[in-house]
Structure 1
Amino acid sequence: MTKSLERPLGAQISHMLKDRGVDTIFGIPGVHNQEMYRGIEEAGITHVLARHEQGAGFMADGYARATGGFGVCYVITGPGLCNIMTPLGQAYSDSVSVLTLASCLDDVTGRKGQLHQMKDQEGAAATVCDWSETAQDAKTAYRLIDRALADFSFGDPRPKTINVPIAALEGMAEPHGAPLRGETGQPPAPENVRFAAEQLRKAKKPLFVFGGGAKNLAVDCITPLLDRVNPATFCTFAGRGIVPLDYLLHYGPGLTRPDSARVIAEADLVLVVGSQLAEVDIWREHLGHTAKMIRVDTNQEALTTFADASYNIRADAASFVNALLAELGEGSQPSDWSAADVAKTRAKWRTEVDAEFPNILPIMDSLRDAMPDDAMIYSDMTQFAYAAKECWDMAYPGHWHHPSGFGTLGYSLPASIGGAVARKGKPTVCIIGDYGIQYTIAELGTAVELGLPLAILLWDNGKLGAIEDSMIAAQIAPNSVIQRNPDFLALARAYGAEAVEPKTLGELAPALAAAFTAKGPTIIRMTPALCQ
């Protein structure tokens, strides 16, 4: 290494990230992390300026989900790290790969009262990440970056935080070395595949459950499996699009319906691929099965979580399904499931959703019919999304993203910005409520600044509808569930965005089409009056 290749470590980190395939970083510069910005342009990386570190974290999350890779954030010491902890908690819950690089103080033991000082920055980030470490020198920083990227590729996909002291960022450092190499898949043990195949051959009413961890299954992989076994199928909300739309034995994302336990109890074998069967996946303590359950997942922690499984297989979905197909061989075995019963049950569940969330499904149907199949949707914690997720089948997997685990408000606007940055020229949609949008409304400025043709579907019912319903169900007089909203259309225009309010269901499709061709984001305000 020649002396001329030395740069301040902050600049070297940007060059290393570029060498590792990073082309976009989300963040906000400050006096404590400005050395990290020294090398961004020189390295040829685009920086997206968020309006708040929470927005930057959600953007990186949305970017990671859209690309299937990872997102990167730069934040400052103390409050910058604290502000991004909510997005990191969301990414941890949903197993999304976000790498945060934060500056930190050189000494918090011997010195007090410093700008942005906190007691334990590394420990704070560790509460919402897979791991958080501090790099005191260049060699450690490089090793931690490669460790994080290796974990994202063939280990634990959940978020990581690397803290680097300001003095280390300012100090001269030699360039990074070659990247770590490794396999990206986790193939199953042959004996586990043989066991699963044997159980499937015996089953008369096999049932498959696909979660978000199986979203990378290709059609030419999943279709032969369904043709050979003829199982009934369910998917979690994150697993929508894995099972083809024309598969007649698909119960869809109906696991949260209480009646789904009755259906699952009919199965004589349950195979769960890529799902933790978490509370937010089923909204009950037990899936409802009485037969043997086989679980397949890459995450050992997920496999050891109680779900009353008989057999756990650690493997990635694609490797497992391909190995299973080879073991099953040719031919198709009949099953005792009825397509007519599946259709009847799904119609019943839709009626239940319509009763629980009035005035939403007609609007949803109009939007779904007008939506391009390749649109990527980011939804927020809002009644519109709760209803739509149960009744909106997706043509492709990994095209609807929701803050399922942590369940944070304000997620979808910045996350959809990250998705739109990753998907230039492709339709990207944000579904958000009138309360949630006010958590991160400032990020509309980022979308305008970037000229993103983002369709923002704003459900405005003037209240915290889900909380009001929950209070009433618990026999609590609704309290603090009605808020005074701003004029969202005027606010959007103040930021430089487009704004429109369709008056009829027929006006939704043209508004959506116009949003996808606009020179910036468009807020499309929807109210219950649309279908009255």
Structure 2
Amino acid sequence: MTKTDIQTRPLGAQISHMLKSRGVDTIFGIPGVHNQEMYRGIEEAGITHVLARHEQGAGFMADGYARASGRPGVAYVITGPGLCNIMTPMGQAYSDSVPVLVISSCLDETANYRGQLHQMLDQEGAARTVCDWSYEARDAASAYALIDRALLEFSAQRPRSKHIQVPISALEGTAPPSPETPSAVARSFGDLPGGVAQRIMAAKRPLFLLGGGAQGDVDALRDVVRRLGAATMVTVAGRGLVPADDPLYYGAYLSRQENAQIVAEADLVIVVGSEMAEVDLWRRDLGHKGDFIRVDIDPEVLSQPVGGEKIQMDSGAFFRTLNDAMAPDHDPATGWSEKEISAAKARWRSENEADRPGIVRIADALHEVMPEDAMIYSDMTQFAYVSNEVWDVPRPGHWHHPSGFGTLGYAMPAAIGGAVARRGLPTVAIAGDYGFQYTVQELGAAVELGLPLPILLWDNGKLKEIEDSMVGAQIAPNSVIAHNPDFCALAQAYGAHAVQPESLSALQEALLSAFEADAPTLIYMTKDMTD
């Protein structure tokens, strides 16, 4: 290819080359007539493309890839239904602060010319309802600028999904190469406001509430907590930030209503990297009565009317600055009782077993043999709801649950994306019998990729969480039982392995064997497994 040819590639091809120059090595998607120009440059640019079976699967794969790699997940989709199908994953990535970039084609004109293939009234506006922003790039310069803007914002502020659409004629038209990669922008929010460190060090019963956004410097975080003698609670996304054997660690039991009273007993509550949203607390208010400090990079979170001090600061910088401000001989607080904390955790664990019988012992068996570096993706299922509280993750950022948007069908495609990003490292999906069927077709992609992916399928034969909720609301359970397929046979039909362990020891063996397999393995679980 001559230099002139390189200078005059179609824009669709130039976009792939630009993404490669910005560090993108994998794109998830489905080609179609409307976005085929975007596929012209993928192989030439040296990018791996993962073919999903549905755009929803492609979006979840991009989400899982981003969470596992720390780099943006990118998806290519077609006009109209392709964009509509990926909107659910875009909403999930938005609510969970995941850097996902969706690039779609769009029609050249929709105001006057009607009846076109894949036509929508307002595709750009539809996408905007579930992501950070959605814009149309009508020429090469706009496309390049928007891509660079998205990538910059992913690293410089709270990462959230974004959408760029490009008209078909623009994708087909020739375009110059993208500009040089812009310089990286460092994220910094200054120093602690005056007196904050002294207030924290003076507290007798300090309590840290830590979310998924508190992963900036885990070593500094742990040093601060230990030196202060502070108690800690974490959200589901914050698991792994504090060692499970820390005697002042309350765990991920924020949703237990008793926690409101414990929070009220702290003389200082410091919330770092968490919205403390409904899906974190399952109550309206945190319950604090004493002094309050909130640390976050997102001004929207800091604007919430919860009182106290608001600090816009990266969590890593916050904990490093606080650690440096503490005197070497600082005496830790003594206001928390290790015995009371241990008793509370035991009590909440028992409540879990009473609320959803049979799950705790199975989760314990899996936890016992799960590799420390395993990355787990879970779905909206009772097995995950219990595990989110009783399963202590040894490393932060290694369990991903669709907490915010709460999408069914998330686990398996997200785990596929995570496994692609972490080739050679253990990755696991946990799904329920109902949600698994939302994206079961992505088994085909996992088989094609040869991923040694254990898929832990929890089958209680019904929408049990919904049934329990209906009963609790004194509603006669309706439409909570569906006819299920033979899941093992279904997996085998796709070319995957399948096993139905009859005991917990067999379950453990199945999990470990699945990590060594040449294809994904569906591991069928029920509460009837023996000890």
1:58, 1:411 within 8 Å by CA — same for their partners in 2? yes
Distance 1:273 1:36 in 2: 40
How far the C-alpha of 1:339 sits from its partner, in A, is 1.1
Per the alignment, residue 307 of structure 2 pairs with 309
Letter of the structure 1 residue corresponding to residue 204 of structure 2: K
Q: Stretches of 4+ moved more than 3 A in 1? A: 1-4
Distance 2:92 2:64 in 1: 11
| 2:408 aligned with 1:409 | yes
Letter of the structure 2 residue corresponding to residue 410 of structure 1: G
Per the alignment, residue 142 of structure 1 pairs with 144
Distance 1:477 1:31 in 2: 48
SS of aligned partner of 2:68: helix
CA gap of 1:195–1:6, structure 2 versus 1, over 3 A, is: farther
Per the alignment, residue 522 of structure 2 pairs with 523
Letter of the structure 2 residue corresponding to residue 3 of structure 1: T
Per the alignment, residue 9 of structure 2 pairs with 7
Identify the match of residue 165 of structure 2 among 163, 166, 171. 163
Distance 1:147 1:259 in 2: 44
Distance 1:52 1:261 in 2: 42
| 2:272 aligned with 1:273 | yes
Distance 2:522 2:363 in 1: 16
SS of aligned partner of 2:233: strand
Per the alignment, residue 114 of structure 1 pairs with 116
Letter of the structure 2 residue corresponding to residue 518 of structure 1: A
2:72, 2:99 within 8 Å by CA — same for their partners in 1? yes
1:206, 1:269 within 8 Å by CA — same for their partners in 2? yes
Distance 1:513 1:196 in 2: 48
Letter of the structure 2 residue corresponding to residue 445 of structure 1: G
Per the alignment, residue 487 of structure 1 pairs with 486
How far the C-alpha of 1:329 sits from its partner, in A, is 3.3
Distance 1:149 1:238 in 2: 23
How far the C-alpha of 1:331 sits from its partner, in A, is 2.5
1:228, 1:330 within 8 Å by CA — same for their partners in 2? no
SS of aligned partner of 2:64: helix
Per-residue CA deviations over 1:301-334 (Å, capped at 9, x if unaligned) read: 111134x131111111101111111122323323
1:71-150 equivalent positions in 2, closer than 5 A = 71-150=73-152
Per-residue CA deviations over 1:143-187 (Å, capped at 9, x if unaligned) read: 000000000010230011000000000000000112232434233
Per the alignment, residue 191 of structure 2 pairs with 190
| 2:283 aligned with 1:284 | yes
Distance 2:498 2:477 in 1: 32
Distance 2:328 2:521 in 1: 51
Letter of the structure 2 residue corresponding to residue 525 of structure 1: Y
Letter of the structure 1 residue corresponding to residue 519 of structure 2: G
- How many residues align? The count is 528
SS of aligned partner of 1:436: helix
Distance 2:330 2:405 in 1: 41
Distance 1:315 1:518 in 2: 44
SS of aligned partner of 2:429: strand
Distance 2:400 2:457 in 1: 16
How far the C-alpha of 1:2 sits from its partner, in A, is 6.0
Distance 2:191 2:15 in 1: 41
Give aligned-pair identity as a percent: 60
How far the C-alpha of 1:483 sits from its partner, in A, is 0.9
Per the alignment, residue 234 of structure 2 pairs with 235
Letter of the structure 2 residue corresponding to residue 241 of structure 1: G
Distance 1:46 1:180 in 2: 24
Per the alignment, residue 42 of structure 2 pairs with 40
SS of aligned partner of 2:103: strand
Per the alignment, residue 178 of structure 2 pairs with 176
CA gap of 1:236–1:191, structure 2 versus 1, over 3 A, is: closer
2:244, 2:251 within 8 Å by CA — same for their partners in 1? no
Distance 2:431 2:63 in 1: 17
Distance 1:451 1:311 in 2: 51
1:33, 1:75 within 8 Å by CA — same for their partners in 2? yes
1:367-378 equivalent positions in 2, closer than 5 A = 367-378=366-377
Distance 2:450 2:274 in 1: 36
Per-residue CA deviations over 1:28-57 (Å, capped at 9, x if unaligned) read: 000000000000000000000000000000
Distance 1:216 1:53 in 2: 32
Letter of the structure 1 residue corresponding to residue 103 of structure 2: L
SS of aligned partner of 1:507: helix
2:192, 2:321 within 8 Å by CA — same for their partners in 1? no
Distance 1:66 1:275 in 2: 20
Letter of the structure 1 residue corresponding to residue 430 of structure 2: I
Question: What value does the CA root-mean-square deviation take over the aligned residues?
Answer: 1.2
SS of aligned partner of 2:515: helix
Letter of the structure 1 residue corresponding to residue 205 of structure 2: K
SS of aligned partner of 1:296: strand
How far the C-alpha of 1:528 sits from its partner, in A, is 1.1
Distance 1:479 1:32 in 2: 42
SS of aligned partner of 1:21: coil
Per the alignment, residue 253 of structure 2 pairs with 254
2:152, 2:185 within 8 Å by CA — same for their partners in 1? no
Letter of the structure 1 residue corresponding to residue 63 of structure 2: D
1:347-358 equivalent positions in 2, closer than 5 A = 347-358=346-357
Per the alignment, residue 458 of structure 1 pairs with 457
CA gap of 1:304–1:358, structure 2 versus 1, over 3 A, is: same
How far the C-alpha of 1:222 sits from its partner, in A, is 2.0
How far the C-alpha of 1:69 sits from its partner, in A, is 1.9
Distance 1:275 1:32 in 2: 40
| 2:443 aligned with 1:441 | no
SS of aligned partner of 1:152: helix
| 2:205 aligned with 1:208 | no
1:228, 1:331 within 8 Å by CA — same for their partners in 2? no
CA gap of 1:235–1:466, structure 2 versus 1, over 3 A, is: same
TM-score normalised by L of structure 1: 0.98
Distance 1:449 1:44 in 2: 19
Distance 2:473 2:22 in 1: 52
Letter of the structure 1 residue corresponding to residue 402 of structure 2: P
Distance 1:148 1:449 in 2: 31
How far the C-alpha of 1:389 sits from its partner, in A, is 0.5
Which sections of structure 2, spanning at least 5 residues, go unmatched? none
How far the C-alpha of 1:530 sits from its partner, in A, is 1.1
TM-score normalised by L of structure 2: 0.98
1:185, 1:319 within 8 Å by CA — same for their partners in 2? no
Letter of the structure 1 residue corresponding to residue 66 of structure 2: A
Distance 1:334 1:49 in 2: 54
How far the C-alpha of 1:247 sits from its partner, in A, is 1.4
How far the C-alpha of 1:531 sits from its partner, in A, is 4.3
Distance 1:511 1:191 in 2: 50
1:276, 1:305 within 8 Å by CA — same for their partners in 2? no
Letter of the structure 2 residue corresponding to residue 409 of structure 1: L
1:292, 1:309 within 8 Å by CA — same for their partners in 2? no
